[in-house]
Structure 1
């Protein structure tokens, strides 16, 4: 990427070229460079989750490029769910704070009954503790062996029925002071808490799914018989710069829900 000048302007003479790792030229469209600069501002916290970013006209003036170039960069960021366009209001940094309105942003569990789309959910936090990261967790979070992590265990209930058992690991240095009490007292979604109180935005996730059988301890928590088929979902969530900031292993009951994904 081209390093911006102090005014964040991009020279049109070098708008399409940058220097590759090996020292040779590599070429990047101008809008991609603007996208990278906007991402840099997002990562630096210039605009907080839920806040409006400057208008396309203002960004075009700031970066000394056309409004169309800015629009293309913003379109890509909106398509990646990093920005949100609101008709007649502007463009905002995506946030998890209103996650409840769309259920859970990364949780794609849908009730079988079409009339149960707004079913009530409740979180039950079973544990929250600091511990040395197990080797597999450290690798997934790109931590050193023995680094501290925060481990959270919770159950999600829908209409009074336990449906999801989550085991969650978070880098300890990013989540100092996170306790079960803070998690339980926070009224919004958990990712909203991470944004507002710890400055960590979960911007994308990747998942691995497989079928497993409930062992006796899991069966007791999810109120099913031992051996009941469950959906196992392992998720890694990332913040800016492709930094993994959460490892989550969930076990889902699918007797009254199904997992929905959209492919494009």
Structure 2
């Protein structure tokens, strides 16, 4: 049983209960794929009503920290994907494949647009340069895990707009079709809320997401792509290996 003084005297009870459960998940006291206590057990532990406990559980289900299986109970969501950062540039598709994860991609926006001032500055091209604007949702087991907004320099890749990116991946296509090699990227991560992109990730608008903005360059330093990637925060972790010199 949780001591009453472990909860603050202010704030909604279901929020406090959700915070307590969330900490159990984050600390791995409730391990991935493990069944959590039943509603009745949580009512006894927390000394809270069924309605309060249910609202707390639903909040964590909405965050994809918990998964409810009819007839079995509620479990800690086990799917967490790692995207490596460090000295080697690897795409998200390549990262998922390296982890043995099957995924699907759905293109939700695909159009050729002239580069405006912002796009031109990000891609280091003249204003008006043909640019492929392409937004994609990548899913695992039918659940969205990341949303990609890409702007691609078509002056380097004429005809790229005709490729079906529901089935093809960008880096592999560039290297196969055009004989050009991806060289390096400038990238930065930031914590955000999902906002208007929540509908693509199938999460509430106030859900936390990890935002990656990156510029991709070829080995000859030509600017190939400017992209913004929105990662479901409870599905993805970013990992790196650092050496002390």
Does the alignment reach a TM-score above 0.5? yes
Provide the residue aligned with 1:68 in structure 2.
none
- Measure, in 1, the Cα distance between the counterparts of 2:162 and 2:128: 22
Provide the residue aligned with 2:223 in structure 1.
244
CA contact (8 A) 2:209 2:233 kept: yes
- Following superposition of structure 1 onto structure 2, how do residues 87-106 of structure 1 map, counting pairs within 5 Å? 100=94, 102-103=95-96
Ranked by relative contact order (alpha carbons within 8 Å, sequence separation 6 or more), the top structure is 2
State yes or no: 1:257 paired with 2:236: yes
- Deviations for 1:143-174, whole angstroms, at most 9, x for unmatched residues? 01222211111011122210111111111212
- Following superposition of structure 1 onto structure 2, how do residues 98-117 of structure 1 map, counting pairs within 5 Å? 100=94, 102-103=95-96, 117=99
CA contact (8 A) 1:127 1:180 kept: no
Which of 135, 144, 155 does residue 153 from structure 1 map onto? 135
1:185 to partner: Cα distance: 4.3
Query: Aligned with 2:157: secondary structure?
Result: coil
Query: Aligned with 1:182: secondary structure?
Result: coil
Change (3 A) 1:176 1:104: farther
- Measure, in 2, the Cα distance between the counterparts of 1:103 and 1:227: 26
CA contact (8 A) 1:128 1:180 kept: no
Query: Aligned with 1:144: secondary structure?
Result: coil
State yes or no: 1:208 paired with 2:199: no
- Measure, in 1, the Cα distance between the counterparts of 2:240 and 2:213: 15
RMSD over equivalenced CA pairs, Å: 2.6
- Deviations for 1:73-120, whole angstroms, at most 9, x for unmatched residues? xxxxxx9769xxxxxxxxxxxx98xx74x5369xxxxxxxxxxx4232
Provide the residue aligned with 2:205 in structure 1.
226
- Deviations for 1:26-63, whole angstroms, at most 9, x for unmatched residues? xxxxxxxxxxxxxxxxxxxxxxxxxxxxxxxxxxxxxx
Change (3 A) 1:80 1:154: same
CA contact (8 A) 2:105 2:165 kept: no
Query: Aligned with 2:200: secondary structure?
Result: helix
- Measure, in 2, the Cα distance between the counterparts of 1:122 and 1:183: 10
Provide the residue aligned with 1:179 in structure 2.
161
Change (3 A) 1:252 1:204: same
The alignment's TM-score, normalised by the length of structure 1, stands at 0.53
Unaligned runs of 5+ in 1: 1-78, 83-94, 106-116
1:234 to partner: Cα distance: 0.4
1:131 to partner: Cα distance: 0.3
Which of 120, 144, 168 does residue 126 from structure 2 map onto? 144
Provide the residue aligned with 1:4 in structure 2.
none
Query: Aligned with 2:220: secondary structure?
Result: helix
Change (3 A) 1:80 1:215: closer
- Measure, in 2, the Cα distance between the counterparts of 1:226 and 1:253: 12
- Measure, in 2, the Cα distance between the counterparts of 1:223 and 1:124: 14
Provide the residue aligned with 1:35 in structure 2.
none
